[in-house]
Structure 1
Amino acid sequence: MFDLKSIVRPNIYALKPYRCARDDYSSGILLDANENSHGSSLPQNSSFVNGNLERYPDPYQLEIKEKLCKLRNIQSTNRFFLGVGSDECIDMAIRVFVQPGKEKILITPPTYGMYSVSANINDAGIAKVPLIVEGGKFQLDVPSILKEIQQDPTIKLVFLCSPGNPTGTLLAQTDIVQILESGFKGIVFVDEAYIDFCADASCSSLVEKYPNLIVSQTLSKAFGLAGIRLGYTISSPEIAQIFNNTKAPYNISTLTSNIANQALGDGLPVMASYVASIKEQRKLLMIQMSKLPFIGGFLGTHDANFVLAQFVNKQGIPDNGVAMDIYKHLAEISGVVVRFRGNELGCLGCLRITVGTPEENATLISYLQSKDIQEIANKY
């Protein structure tokens, strides 16, 4: 039986959240929070001048949560925590559940690098159970994960990235459920930053059944709103309350809130059209790149808004030299920036390439077909 109190750091569980001025009243003549009632100091012709920026934002962001309930088919707003990007959600989970200097997280390389960064910042240990990488499979090694968490009771938090970064691969939900039903007393955190590119694949539908499951999502990817920094978690109401108790009182700005509310309202059809375009362009990009002699293939199952292309030498062997030289030439000479991922487990010779607009993708292909790139590849 999962016991939330036993997994939360005692000082966090006992925490009394900061009471802010907007906890009690949010309308009327507001003379309670030492705000500047004259208004913001933006120029009068600014498009943001009427955004009530002189006032602190709603600490609960109920309007956003209500729209997220509708979008994700979640029954109650009390299952949500809103963070400054998914990164705050990741950091919050480690701060709440992992005792500094004593306990650990578990990650499954190759995976998103911020899990380790946040663990290091919070003085948490890191256990690693690699994904099954053979043949570009990038799926969970469930027996090894279960063995690790059974042998090491200091592991309190398991991070699973689905679809993965840099793998672009959706994890099998049956594998995630197997971990949740294994008797693990800690938290399973499923990072779904790219889930909008996978129809009906989210683990968010499982949060009502599994009280130790946290699912994080974001408006950065499919919504195209990386600049507003809004991520969120879906979990049990108890975990969401602890997260909301622990956060800074006004962590989501008014500007972020205003834009997010528009995107989650009238912006939903726009998001859907972008996702459809990206998926179509992803397919075309892979077809065109597959014709190049130095492309050995694409690893993973391509479930995100990027592809993981494997570059090979003249012998058809994955080669970091080929990938690195082409990566540098594209960035420094051609002005096209992709991401070298050849040093990640199971990603030898790989560049992670975000799917751009049709024009951007066409430019990339034209450079990859150029004589200069051909000469670089032929050196290997």
Structure 2
Amino acid sequence: MKNKIKYGMIGGGPGAFIGEVHRKAAALDGHLELVAGAFSSSPEMTQKMGEELGLESNRLYDSFEEMAKAEAALPKEQRIDVVTVVTPNHLHFPVCKVFIEQGINVVCDKPMTNTVEEAEELCRLVEKHDIIFALTHNYTGYPMVKEARHLVKSGKLGSLRKIVVEYPQGWLSEPVEEQGNKQAKWRTDPQKAGVSAALADIGTHAENLVEYITGLKIEKLYADTTSFVEGRALEDDANLLVHYEGGVKGILYASQISVGEENPLKIRIYGTEASLEWKQESPNFLSLKYPDRPEEIYKRGNPYLSDAANFGTRVPPGHPEGFIEAFANIYKNVALTIKARKEGNEPGVLAADFPSVLDGLAGVKFIHKAVESGKENRWIDMG
């Protein structure tokens, strides 16, 4: 493909799970090409990763600061168009900040930052420097999530009343951070993960999924948070009552000590006319239920679905699409938006469909308000 969007990566060095996910997703549709990186705090590991990926040695950098400065100094046709940030949470803000200030577009893993103040600062910088900023809430990339959003907007469910969203995992049910698990070690460390573990890691996905599908913002919440594993500084389980706009009530459950669970993110939305249900572990199906007729099952890839759902679909019905493809839909849309900007055009509505810096701010506020509620044992207003 001619005129590929050139991107660089911060983090995602040897053995990093999420960095490899991002690289596969970015490559899937052929819109982007990885040309530069600072993959590790160790220059040796960056060189090793770069060699494995076949990158030129002069585009491998010892630090993200060096990379931002050097790439911005290159001629426009050579430098990166966008940087992907896949570091532990505590580095998201400084990395994003330095690239935004150099006028380079950003794709950042969630949560966007560790503090609300940092998130607000990134919002100001994105507006000031007029760059494209995407947050990889990848579950919004699933075609049937987009279909769910379309059905809610079209009034298929009637007036919304109740939302139940859950994301249980079991991988932190034992103190694996003390047994050499690097992912667990930083995710349970307040110095790197911030004020939260389970809420910051997966609770924010649940929060974002509700807002993406329904458009509803949280007005107030009550959180019951627990660190079940002895000695763990951050919560590994959270149960929330949530009040949304318009009198809609909700339950949000995020847990990493739910033994035997893998990644069964699930959302149920109940309206006055119908309800819907989507499960991440069966992502190609969307269920609609009615009070007076049989349940309907919508299937990915069919022509009866919305334009938004089919825009994020690559293969015919019956061929499963999943996790990598959902990430890829975010990367595809970011690439199409950057291309449109380069050509002096506005991106199409479907191409502009990806989580933004404002979604990042909402997520960080949610995390902090939920942690505050859990500590103080009371309802907290989001305002």
* Band the TM-score falls in, shorter-chain normalisation: 0.3 to 0.5
Larger Cα Rg: Structure 1 or Structure 2? 1
Of structures 1 and 2, the one with the larger relative CO (CA 8 A, separation 6+) is 2
Name the TM-score, length of structure 1 as normaliser.
Answer: 0.33
Give the TM-score taking structure 2 as reference length. Answer: 0.33
More strand by share: 2
